[in-house]
Amino acid sequence: MFTVLIRIFRSGWRSFYRDREIALATIFVLFLTVILAGSFFLFKDISQILVADLQEKIDVSVYFREETLEEDILGVGKELSELPEIKNIEYVSKEQALLNFIQRHERDTALLDSIDELGKNPFLAALNVRTWNPDQYAKVSKFLEGPGFDSFVEKIDYYQRKPAIDTMRSLNSGVTKISISIAVLLIIIAIAVSLNTIGLSIYNSRKEIEIQKLVGASSWFIRGPFLVQGMICGILATLISILTLSFICWFLSPRIESFFLSISLFTLFVENFWMLVLIQFTTGISLGAVSSLVAIKKYLKD
Amino acid sequence: MIKFQDITKIYSSNASKSEPTIALDKVSFDISPKEFVSLVGKSGAGKTTLLKLLLMQEKPTSGDILFEGKNLSDIRSEELPWLRRKIGVVFQDYKLLAVKTAYENIAYTMEVIGARDEEIKRDVPKVLDIVGLSERAGNLPAELSGGERQRVAIARALVHRPDIILADEPTGNLDPYHTMEIIELLLKIQLMGPTVVLATHNKDVINRLNKRVVTLEKGKIIRDEKEGRFIL
Ligand SMILES: Nc1ncnc2c1ncn2[C@@H]1O[C@H](COP(=O)(O)OP(=O)(O)OP(=O)(O)O)[C@@H](O)[C@H]1O
Ligand SMILES: [Mg+2]
């Protein structure tokens, strides 16, 4: 049994090697498919991090009119905190807001001077409200626009940040849709191309196959090598894809980090390395094997 | 051992215009174990067709073939290897692989049917010796003479110790000297055990053999003689 397996693998390797030039096309399309699968997996992670990041940063700031009393503000806060949507509420007094501003613009003396010249604190007291998920901000702001509150509330700073989340979301679902369409297309192309190259290989081996049949080879002894051949293409495509992806991540990582501080592409790649390898190998080998099987079914009847 | 019962084979040609060919017409005869049978007949008489039916390369249009008590029509495609491993065939056109040496061509058959490496190492030199080709083991078919190629084909047919050897015109392209050499070889092999079925239209071969001769004409058996002569 073991001898037979070795022979099947050896024979598969031989026919792969003999038809290596036509196998290049197979390897190329398999490579494209596999690297797409890998990048998609990475992108999913990145976009999740970005969305989480944005959600974390986002809150609704409710600014109160100049004359509103602190106890009124805290009263509003208390009422808000009873809403199930609220995750937490932070009160920022006028003084705190000024301090924050001064801290943030320590080095900008001109700006600080102009505040000084004003002679009074221009900031408004605010409640920073955070909800469990971004869809709930609309509800919170509606609540605050309602009767009873409009006399206190100066403005609700919410719409400014909504687009960032929406963009990220639609980008995410857009990329998913596009990736899936490309993947389906690539898989069809990959199978069609490998089907043809394996078919050609079967054609090139027709003399061997005829003799194998006539001397009584079992059908899997005849078919096995072509399955192996398809899998070799898949493995090579995967190896090339992993190398390419490592290089891309290593190369792009510093460039992306300068945009999004929280993401290190290369770290992400390293952390997910084995998962990536698994995903790509599974994609590559199964595609190679499936197209071989189709080719065998099509060109190697009985 | 082998029973042909009312075998008819009609080829319906792919070219729709031509008439179907009746290659065999109600042929019945038996072959006993260890027998040496010659099938003779003019070109187109149906000799190769008969061998193809036995090897299940073709299916009979009607009639039954029994091989070691088993009806071939009951053999499922998964059992086909079982049947073919019991038969060694010397093909009219050799069917040697051009890229493999004499040794490799013979070893290949054994590999294909799952023989162990030790068996291959042990048996291939043995059959090369039987056919007298030990010195040419490393040569490619293109580097061998017609007779030598024919002997490689014979060595390949017998290396896995089949119960029966089918030799289809094994002397087709050979001069009289080499023809006799091949026939002597087949006789020698038959003495070692297997049944031999020889299809030929070579008169000298038949007259030299003094063995059973089945004569076919236009798909029918017209003579079946114990120590036959070549008469057409
Ligand atoms: N695949 C086929 N399709 C159609 N007709 C065929 C086919 N194979 C053989 N025949 C026809 O069947 C008849 C018998 O052919 P067969 O090959 O058995 O003859 P043969 O006795 O072996 O001849 P030869 O001595 O020339 O080898 C011939 O008339 C041939 O044309
Ligand atoms: Mg013939």
Q: Are B110 and B119 in contact (CB under 8 A)?
A: yes
Q: What is the DSSP string of A238-256?
A: HHHHHHHHHHHHHHHHHHH
pLDDT band at A46 (very low <50, low <70, confident <90, very high): confident
CB pair distance less than 8 Å for A207 and B97: yes
Q: Which residue has the higher pLDDT, A171 or A90?
A: A90
Predicted confidence (pLDDT) per residue in A246-273, tens digit: 898 888 887 777 666 566 778 888 888 8
CA of B79 to the centre of ligand 1 (A): 26
CB atoms within 10 A of CB A227: 21
Q: What residue type is assigned to position A132 of the chain?
A: W
Residue B20 DSSP code: P
Whether B30 and chain A come into contact, CB under 8 Å, resolves to no
Q: What is the pLDDT of residue A263?
A: 67
- pLDDT tens digits along B31-46: 999 999 999 998 889 9
Q: 């054994």: which residue's tokens?
A: B110
Domains, chain A, with CATH or none: 2-54+167-299 (no CATH), 59-160 (3.30.70.3040)
CA of B85: which chain A residue's CA is closest? Answer: A216
The dihedrals phi and psi of B46, each to the nearest 5 degrees, come to: 115, 15
Structure token pair of residue A217? 């080879």
Exposed e or buried b per residue across A125-146, where buried means at least 16 C-beta atoms within 10 angstroms of its C-beta: bbbebbbeebebbeebbebbee
DSSP annotation string for B39-64: EE-STTSSHHHHHHHHTTSS--SEEE
Looking at residue B195, its pLDDT comes to: 94
Write a three-state SS string for B149-202: HHHHHHHHHHCCCCCEEEEECCCCCCCHHHHHHHHHHHHHHHHCCCEEEEEECC
Helices and strands (DSSP H and E) totals, chain A = 11, 4
* A139 alpha-carbon distance from chain centroid: 29
Q: Probe ligand 1: pick from B10, B49, B168, max atoms within 8 Å of CB?
A: B49
Mutation target vs A (from B95, B112, B116, B165; most A CBs, 10 A cutoff):
B112
Q: How many CB atoms sit inside 10 A of residue A220's CB?
A: 12
What sign has the CA pseudo-torsion B191, B192, B194, B196? negative
For the cut 70, the answer to whether the pLDDT of residue A26 exceeds it is: yes
Indicate whether B221 pLDDT > 80: yes
**Chain A: closest CA distance from residue B84 (Å):** 5
Kindly state the tokens that stand for B222.
Answer: 């017209």
Output the pLDDT for position A139.
78
Ligand 2 mean position to B48 CA, how many Å?
4
Enumerate the H helices of B55-116 as residue ranges.
Answer: 80-85, 102-112
pLDDT averaged over chain A?
Answer: 83
- Mean pLDDT over A189-197 rounds to 87
Dihedral angle over CA of A7, A8, A13, A19, nearest 10: 120
Closest atom of ligand 1 relative to the B47 alpha carbon: 21
Distance B195 CA to ligand 1 centre (A): 24
pLDDT in tens, B83-102: 999 999 998 888 998 889 99
Q: Tokens standing for A116?
A: 């000084």
| Residue A57 pLDDT level (bands cut at 50, 70, 90) | low
